[in-house]
Amino acid sequence: MMPTASRIKRRASRFFLPFRLRAPSTQGEARRIERVISIARLFLAIIALIALDFDPVQPATYVPVARTFLALFVAHSLAAVLVLRTRPRRAKAFALVTYTIDLIAAALTLPIAASNSPFFAFFLFVLASAALRWGFRETVATTIAALGLMLVHQRVAAYVPLLGVPGYDDTPRLIVRTSYLVMMGLLLGYLAEASRLLRAETAAIATLLGKIRVDVNVTRALIMVGNETVKIFDGASLMLVVEEIESRRVFRWDTQGGWSLASATFAGDTLPVNRDTYLFGSADHSMAIARRGWFGRPSYDTTLVDQAGRLVDAPPTDVPEAFISAHPFRHLIIAPVTFGDEWSGRIFIFEPRLNVQYVEMIEFLQTLIRQVSPAVFSVYLQNRLQAKAGALERARVARELHDGVIQSLIAVEMQLQVLRGQEPVRGTSAADELQRLQDIVRTEVLNLRDLMQQMRPSEFDPDELLDHFADMVQRFGRDTGISARFVTDLKAVALERHVCFELVRIVQEGLANIRKHSAAAHVVVRFNLVKDAWRLEIDDDGRGFPFEGRLSQAELDARSGAPAIIRERVRAIGGRLAIDSQPGRGSRLEILVPQEGRG
């Protein structure tokens, strides 16, 4: 595909004018800058006009010319102030015009400026105005232009006596004045660039904080912050890898693929997110890594910076091969990040093209993290608080259902049973209708109980998991009339709390599906430890699934087989799901969870 004209222009602008972090330029800011420059210009012209009468070095023949020139410059300064007040919206265009006039005026002062004349301040004013308006490069360009004008005047003055001033054509004095001009140009440009960079960083942080809203979830907040950060650093992508301090679970999020869960593995598998692959190097230092060479074995230059922004003398950090294979890069900056006492990890920005040194870039990223990470963590806490409040509310609704609607439905079912048993009704069509109504009421009672179980928060310790399973299966058999057993040879379970919660939900969903769809008479739930995995089985003798044989989770995903809720919960804990089905003779769900219990 041939690049378009706009792409070529954009690439050329990046080559000649590399990307710099800039504060957003507004009409109000440009107007304020021009107002300051206009007032300073007016003061300069008036003071120079007054100082002309006290300058004994100037030849008397030049005083009238100089006074006329300065009077015109005072008029120009007044006109600039009036124009800004009457037409403030044209500040940016006005800046270029006045800048050109100021530079020309400074050049016109050369024939009347002696070695120690205050007219040299006109050049300094042009440098200061360029620094205030734009930045370092523009100030340096103005300095070069001023030097060129001075050299041109020096050459012309040698041939045109009227342009020369006693002592001005002296080469040593010209060198001294040139040195002053270069020194002031570099100093003013550096100070202006540092000030603009600080304002740009402040504006970038304010923009990021403004995009974080407490009414969105953590993922949405990360999307907003991540995409904006990539724009600020002009990078290719951003990746966040965090580890839950309590459970040691590792999560990855990036601006291109979203979340990836660090699930544990079975023999022969590879981790989608591995701790050693991403959380390498020192947890207290930020890094900038630059790749050298593309042929043969690449090498990497590493710059380490501590939390105070100081360079650290340390041996080069070895970048894991797995990281390089998954995320090839040429330039990369890494900074540690923490979210309260619960999460810690790294932020990776690939291919940043911010035109500053690595140390300054890392310092800015560290500042960005310090300002933005508490806001993101507050969104996380807000989401967790809302989830907790929602769980408590669901528990309250479940109690209301149990004490109200379910008790009423059970009473209706018992009343229907009594009516069916009465002599005038027994054996008639009314008895069949009452049987149908009783079945409907019983089904709704069971549905409501399933709903209550899902609404109640499953808060228990991992060592209570076996008793929880046994109680759940026993209650299922009592409510449905289906023969149900829980079988295990385990005495204790060493699983993380969130894995236990998901396993309970999987059993609840499996039993609910058996009651609704299988017409089974017997159910067996087994939980034990085999080799390197925990195995959960739900076996029934009902209708089975609409296929025969054994399907793995990948095959089930391909044909949308098996309950979607169970598939998602198994995937969330890094497990494997397989289903054996014999239509008309039953089915078996087998879930394998890695012994590490990570998800």
Give residue-wise pLDDT tens across range 564-597.
Answer: 888 888 887 888 899 999 998 999 999 998 876 4
The answer to whether position 330 is within a domain reads: yes
Residue 252 and residue 227 in one domain: yes
pLDDT at residue 168 is higher than 90: no
Q: How high is the pLDDT of residue 526? A: 95
Contact 292, 298 (CB under 8 A): yes
Confidence band, pLDDT 50/70/90 cuts, at residue 346 = very high
The answer to whether position 440 is within a domain reads: no
pLDDT at residue 261 is higher than 70: no
Strand blocks (E) in 270-379 = 286-292, 299-305, 331-339, 343-350
Residue 221 and residue 192 in one domain: no
**What are residue 302's phi and psi, to 5 degrees?**
-120, 130
The residue with greater pLDDT, 173 or 146, is 146
Within 10 angstroms of residue 445's Cβ, the number of other Cβ atoms is: 19
Distance CA 331, CA 318 (A): 15
The residue with greater pLDDT, 91 or 105, is 105
The answer to whether position 388 is within a domain reads: no
pLDDT at residue 37 is higher than 70: yes
Average pLDDT rounded to a whole number, residues 331-336 = 92
Average pLDDT rounded to a whole number, residues 86-111 = 76
Which region among 150-159, 354-363, 586-595 has the lowest average model confidence (pLDDT)?
150-159
Average pLDDT rounded to a whole number, residues 50-79 = 73
Q: How high is the pLDDT of residue 167? A: 41
- The SS3 assignment for 259 reads strand
Residue 155 and residue 56 in one domain: yes
pLDDT at residue 267 is higher than 50: no
| DSSP category for residue 549 | E
The enclosing domain of 561 has a CATH number of 3.30.565.10
The answer to whether position 341 is within a domain reads: yes
Contact 153, 163 (CB under 8 A): yes
Residue 201 and residue 238 in one domain: no
Domain range spanning residue 243? 216-378
Residue 41 and residue 167 in one domain: yes
From the list 277, 272, 238, the residue with the least C-alpha distance to 255 is: 238
The residue with greater pLDDT, 542 or 1, is 542
Last-in-domain residue among 348, 378, 408: 378
Average pLDDT rounded to a whole number, residues 529-557 = 88
Residue 174 and residue 252 in one domain: no
Mean pLDDT of the chain: 78
Average pLDDT rounded to a whole number, residues 200-204 = 81
Residue 105 and residue 226 in one domain: no
Residue 55 and residue 184 in one domain: yes
Which region among 61-70, 348-357, 468-477 has the lowest average model confidence (pLDDT)?
61-70
From the list 31, 204, 205, 203, the residue with the least C-alpha distance to 133 is: 31
The answer to whether position 443 is within a domain reads: no
Q: How high is the pLDDT of residue 418? A: 74
pLDDT, tens digit, for every residue of 393-429? 666 776 666 667 777 777 777 777 777 777 676 667 7
In total, how many domains does the chain have?
3
Residue 268 and residue 188 in one domain: no
| DSSP category for residue 526 | E
Q: How high is the pLDDT of residue 528? A: 93
**What are residue 550's phi and psi, to 5 degrees?**
-115, 130
Q: How high is the pLDDT of residue 334? A: 92
pLDDT at residue 557 is higher than 80: no
Residue 198 and residue 236 in one domain: no
Residue 200 and residue 222 in one domain: no
The enclosing domain of 221 has a CATH number of 3.30.450
Q: How high is the pLDDT of residue 237? A: 92
Last-in-domain residue among 162, 184, 207: 207
pLDDT at residue 21 is higher than 90: no
Regarding pTM above 0.75, the answer is no
The token duo for 93 is 């265009």
Last-in-domain residue among 378, 406, 425: 378
The answer to whether position 522 is within a domain reads: yes
Distance CA 208, CA 212 (A): 7
pLDDT, tens digit, for every residue of 275-309? 788 888 888 889 898 887 666 667 788 888 888 88
The answer to whether position 428 is within a domain reads: no
The answer to whether position 171 is within a domain reads: yes
Q: How high is the pLDDT of residue 527? A: 95
**What is the secondary structure of 359-406 as a DSSP string?**
HHHHHHHHHHHHHHHHHHHHHHHHHHHHHHHHHHHHHHHHHHIIIIII
Confidence band, pLDDT 50/70/90 cuts, at residue 12 = very low
Which region among 12-16, 258-262, 470-474 has the lowest average model confidence (pLDDT)?
12-16
The structure tokens 């009036």 sit at: 82
Residue 373 and residue 498 in one domain: no
pLDDT at residue 19 is higher than 90: no
